[in-house]
């Protein structure tokens, strides 16, 4: 207690309460009649609990089956230029095939076609292309998340129907000299035909 709030009567009341509590802890031994009554009460409680547990049944939550699975990412640290081209590349593919193609791009086995002034790469129908390693690794994580969403929504053969990459607000680096790359992503997968 502080000096302002000091009250002698309160202090004495607290000590008396403590003494009363310590005295109430001393319990007399129950007689035989009291023991029988206590046993009957505990048996009733056990039976009552059994009845309650029988009465409570697990509640089944009905989930509405969705026709599509969606991944939305805001402000992801991926290059917008590369993510737009990767979205064009994976659109219309199965999720597993898109993951394999991106893994090949990481290993520099197959380039991702890009619009603009890029060097020509090997491959059928390939003009300009690149091997965006960091963006591909991030997209693989995103596609795995989309695949998990599709399996949760019970979509058997998910095909990427929509892949959109947009400009996000850019964050400044240390000392405000550089702007970091940020992208909004939206991927949607629906059930496809075999």
- Residue 119 pairs in a beta bridge with none
pLDDT higher than threshold 60 for residue 132: yes
pLDDT higher than threshold 80 for residue 39: no
Whether 37 is in a domain gets the answer no
Domain of residue 82, CATH code: 3.90.470.10
Q: List pLDDT tens digits, range 43-97.
A: 665 665 556 555 566 777 777 778 899 999 999 999 999 999 999 999 999 999 9
Whether 25 is in a domain gets the answer no
Whether 119 is in a domain gets the answer yes
Q: Are 185 and 77 in contact (CB under 8 A)?
A: no
Whether 79 is in a domain gets the answer yes
Whether 113 is in a domain gets the answer yes
The residue-averaged pLDDT of 118-125 equals 83
Reported confidence tier of residue 184, pLDDT bands at 50, 70, 90:
very high
Whether 58 is in a domain gets the answer no
pTM of the model: 0.66
pLDDT higher than threshold 70 for residue 5: no
The residue-averaged pLDDT of 4-17 equals 68
Q: How many domains does the chain have?
A: 1
Whether 125 is in a domain gets the answer yes
Q: What is the pLDDT of residue 124?
A: 78
The residue-averaged pLDDT of 149-167 equals 94
Q: List pLDDT tens digits, range 165-181.
A: 999 998 898 888 899 99
The residue-averaged pLDDT of 123-138 equals 90
Expressed as residue numbers, the domain containing 120 is 68-191
The more confidently predicted of residues 80 and 19 is: 80
Rounded CA separation 142/150 (Å) = 12
Whether 152 is in a domain gets the answer yes
pLDDT higher than threshold 60 for residue 118: yes
């Amino acid at each position: 207690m502080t000096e302002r709030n000091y009250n002698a009567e309160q202090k004495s009341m607290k000590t008396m309460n403590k003494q009363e509590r310590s005295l109430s802890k001393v319990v007399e031994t129950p007689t035989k009649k009291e023991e029988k009554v206590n046993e009957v009460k505990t048996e009733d409680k056990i039976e009552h609990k059994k009845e309650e547990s029988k009465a409570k049944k697990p509640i089944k939550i009905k989930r509405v089956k969705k026709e599509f699975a969606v991944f939305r990412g805001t402000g992801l640290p991926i290059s917008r230029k590369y993510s737009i081209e990767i979205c064009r590349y994976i659109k219309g593919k199965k999720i597993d095939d898109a993951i394999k193609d991106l893994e090949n791009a990481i290993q520099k086995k197959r380039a991702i076609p890009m619009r603009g002034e890029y060097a020509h790469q090997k491959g059928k129908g390939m003009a300009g292309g690149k091997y965006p390693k960091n963006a591909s690794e991030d997209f693989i994580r995103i596609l795995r998340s989309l695949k998990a969403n599709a399996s949760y929504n019970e979509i058997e053969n998910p095909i990427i129907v929509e892949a959109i990459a947009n400009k996000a607000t850019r964050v400044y680096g240390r000392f405000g000299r550089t702007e970091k790359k940020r992208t909004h992503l939206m991927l949607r997968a629906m059930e496809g035909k075999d």
